[in-house]
């Protein structure tokens, strides 16, 4: 059995406070547990996912642009014997207006 998990590392984070928000869920949908909503300019610290799914959503209004954010994701296995081949290519990106949804899955 091989359990894959994700870890996010924000290298830059500068969003319009309370109007531009990154929401992270521990799973593949907004029905899964919310890890947190992040806004402003403090680098978020994100715990390791509990499964092989992690949902990252970005919502922005059209006022007051900031520099945005830069995030790197890492995948690993928690135990067991398995071979995985993952890259930093995003699995699923949906961009609609000022709304970005990224689903990471192994």
DSSP tag of 41? T
Name the one residue in this structure whose structure tokens are 């961009």.
Answer: 95
- Domains of the chain, residue spans: 4-105
- Supply the pLDDT for residue 97: 38
**Between these two residues, 6 and 87, which has the higher pLDDT value?**
6
* Residue 50 pLDDT: 84
Quick one: which of 88, 100, 104 has its CA closest to 23?
A: 100
The tens digit of pLDDT for each residue in 18-74 reads 999 999 999 889 999 999 999 999 999 888 888 888 888 988 887 888 888 888 888
Task: Fill in the DSSP letter of residue 35.
Answer: E
pTM confidence score: 0.73
Fold classified for 4-105: Jelly Rolls (2.60.120)
């Amino acid at each position: 059995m091989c359990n894959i998990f994700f870890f996010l590392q924000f290298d830059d984070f500068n969003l319009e406070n309370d109007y531009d928000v990154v929401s992270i869920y521990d799973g593949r949908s907004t029905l899964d547990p919310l890890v947190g909503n992040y806004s402003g300019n403090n680098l978020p610290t994100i715990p390791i996912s509990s499964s092989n799914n992690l949902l990252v959503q970005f919502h922005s209004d059209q006022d007051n642009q900031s520099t945005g954010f830069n995030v790197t994701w890492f995948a690993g296995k928690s135990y067991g014997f398995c071979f995985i081949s993952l890259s930093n290519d995003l699995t699923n990106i949906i961009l609609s207006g000022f709304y970005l949804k990224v689903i990471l899955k192994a």
